Amino acid sequence: MIKSVSIIGAGNVAHNLARMFNSAGVMIDSIYSREMRNASTLAALYNANPVDQVQEINDSSDLLLFAVRDDVLAKVASILAGSTQLMAHTSGSVDMDVFGDIIRPAVFYPLQTFSKEKKYDGPPFPVCIEAKEQNDLAKLSALGASIVGADNVYEISSPQRKTLHVAAVFACNFTNYFYGVAENILKDRNMSFDILKPLIVETVGKIDSRGPAATQTGPAARGDHKIINNHLEYLSSNTDYQRLYKLVTDLIISNT
């Protein structure tokens, strides 16, 4: 059973998981960040020890959780090579073997978007776990269940997780970019993005009950080329948005 965690990282994921672990009765031992002020800010919330050297992380924690950028994960983890502690990263796109020769590598990937400034209070999200040792897998499963419930913990392999992360980028990151495009288009005419929010909520609700394919509407789905051409003409002052509109429209038409 995992009773204590030290977190390497002090960003969005670290802030939210630390709060959830703490609420579940898991002790937060140490918080690492390259910037001591960041480590101290998060550590102070849970009476944890802030450190700016990886070697100073508590060596008796049941779990070392790496919530750092993908491109520095291997380098940071290598500093603790030879440790017998359970080490898991939170990345959606990095293989478990990024840990190299570490004895007890694992993954604890929360499939959700987080912000430091906003306490996550939405519905339970999936936690995807992987571990080299079966005993460690059971421990991570119990840890995940303590924060999101057992039904939301999934044993996912590194190749499966990579597939899941690509899909998540389309579903979350790209969709949010489109929201930003919509907001900019409205701002150009002194209109608020708020006017679109009921439409967004209704679309998400339909996806939940009917699925994306059955929910697709709009001029592309109808094959209404007159409206499509009018929109393309409207966007002629912003060729980036115009190209984006045409690309997505063509894809919808070809798949409808």
Q: How many CA atoms lie within 13 A of 28 on its CB side?
A: 29
In the prediction, which pLDDT does 82 show? 85
Of the candidates 1, 47, 5, 49, which has an alpha carbon nearest to the alpha carbon of residue 26?
5
d(CA 163, CA 177): 20
Whether the Cβ atoms of residue 29 and residue 6 lie closer than 8 Å to each other: yes
Whether pLDDT at 81 is above 90: no
Structure confidence at residue 16 as a pLDDT band (50, 70, 90): very high
Whether pLDDT at 24 is above 90: yes
**Single-letter residue type at 108:** F
What are all long-range contacts of 117-124, with beta carbons under 8 Å and residues at least 24 apart?
119/16, 119/19, 120/16, 120/20, 124/148, 124/149, 124/151, 124/152
- The mean per-residue pLDDT over the stretch 142-146 comes to 98
Q: Where do the structural domains in the chain lie, given as residue ranges? A: 4-156, 162-254
Rg (CA), the chain: 22
In the prediction, which pLDDT does 249 show? 97
- pTM, to two decimals: 0.91
Q: What percent of the chain has pLDDT over 90?
A: 93
Tell me which of 1.10.1040.20, 3.40.190.10, 3.40.50.360, 1.20.140.10 is the CATH number of domain 162-254: 1.10.1040.20
CATH superfamily of 4-156: NAD(P)-binding Rossmann-like Domain (3.40.50.720)
